[in-house]
Every structure is written in C-alpha cells, then in structure tokens.
C-alpha cells in the first residue's frame, strides 16, 4: 500500500470510530450517609465492681412525647463494663427534628436484671443542649 492509501484507510477508520457508540459516563458514586455523634461517659458513685457479664446500654432517645414511649435513635452496648465508660452514639442527623427533645439514657444489666440506671434526664442536641454528656447512674436495689 502506498502512503496515500494508508492515510485514506486511517481516516476512514477514525471516522467510523467516531460514529460508534460512546461509552456511558460512570454513574456517580453515592456519597456515604452523613452521620453525627453524641459522646460522653457513664459511671456510678458506688465503690463496687460489676460482674464480668454485665453490659452497659447507652441510648439516644427522642423524649418529646410525654404520653408515648421514647423512640430510640441510636444505641451502643458495652461489655465488659469498666467505669467510667466512654461511649459514642452515632446517628443520622436527618432523624433529628429541632423542635423535639432528645436525651441520653444509660443502664447496666446482667442477665436481664437491671443493676444501674439513669434517674434524671440528660438532654442533648436541641434546645441549647450540646453533643457531649456525662452520666452518673443510680444503683437499683432488688427487693
């Protein structure tokens, strides 16, 4: 083939390639869901060691409705428990309504038996409350 024929064949090949289907653009990678955290510590004043099988349960709850059960937004379970126990509750900010009230509660259970619990409200997130809280639980006396 002479030079002119090569150039003509190359030009036709390039023209045909340009007419072919184009690659679809890659679908955008979805952004990871946004998350936020509430942090703090949970402890108790009594000088007693917890059983090895005790579990600390910390919850972020919507406490807006006085006549309805609280809605759990986030929960963390920690075992074994060593106090003060640091916790981080990760939640979806889209679940937070600035008009509602939110609180963190904590309890220590062993085999379904409540050993310690919060007896006061620990507000977070809305109505001027922050995203960090330190909780002092009260011992539950069995009868």
Q: Tens digit of pLDDT for each residue in 10-47?
A: 455 555 555 555 445 445 544 456 889 999 999 999 99
Domain annotation covers residue 9: no
Residue 135 CA to residue 30 CA, distance in Å, equals 37
Is position 65 within any domain?
yes
Domain contains 93 = yes
pTM of the model: 0.73
Q: Above 80 in pLDDT, residue 7? A: no
Examine residue 27 and state whether it is found in any structural domain, yes or no.
no
pLDDT band for position 55 (cuts 50, 70, 90): very high
> Does residue 53 carry a pLDDT above 70?
yes
Number of domains comprising the chain:
1
Average pLDDT over residues 110-132: 94
- How many angstroms separate the CA atoms of 42 and 84, rounded? 6
Residue 78 counted as domain residue? yes
Residue 82's CATH number: 2.60.40
Does residue 72 lie in a domain region? yes
Q: Which residues pair with 43 in a beta bridge?
A: 136
Q: What is the pLDDT of residue 29?
A: 47
Q: What is the pLDDT of residues 72-90, one digit of tens each?
A: 999 999 999 999 999 999 9
Write out the residue range of the structural domain in which residue 71 sits.
36-139
Q: Is residue 17 in some structural domain?
A: no
Please give the mean pLDDT across all residues of the chain: 84
pLDDT at residue 34, rounded to an integer: 82
Residue 104 lies in a domain: yes
């Amino acid at each position: 083939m002479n030079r002119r024929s090569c150039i003509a064949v190359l030009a036709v090949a390039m023209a045909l390639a340009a007419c072919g289907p184009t690659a679809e653009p890659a679908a955008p990678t979805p952004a990871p869901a946004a998350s936020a955290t509430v942090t703090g510590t949970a402890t108790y004043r009594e000088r007693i060691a917890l059983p090895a099988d005790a579990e600390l349960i910390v919850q972020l709850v919507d406490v807006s409705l006085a006549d309805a059960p609280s809605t759990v937004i986030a929960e963390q379970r920690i075992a074994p428990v060593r106090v003060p126990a640091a916790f981080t509750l990760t939640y979806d900010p889209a679940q937070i309504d600035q008009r509602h009230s939110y609180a963190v509660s904590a309890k220590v259970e062993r085999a379904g038996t409540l050993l310690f619990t919060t007896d006061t409200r620990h507000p977070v997130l809305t109505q001027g409350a922050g995203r960090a809280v330190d909780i002092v639980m009260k011992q539950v006396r069995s009868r």
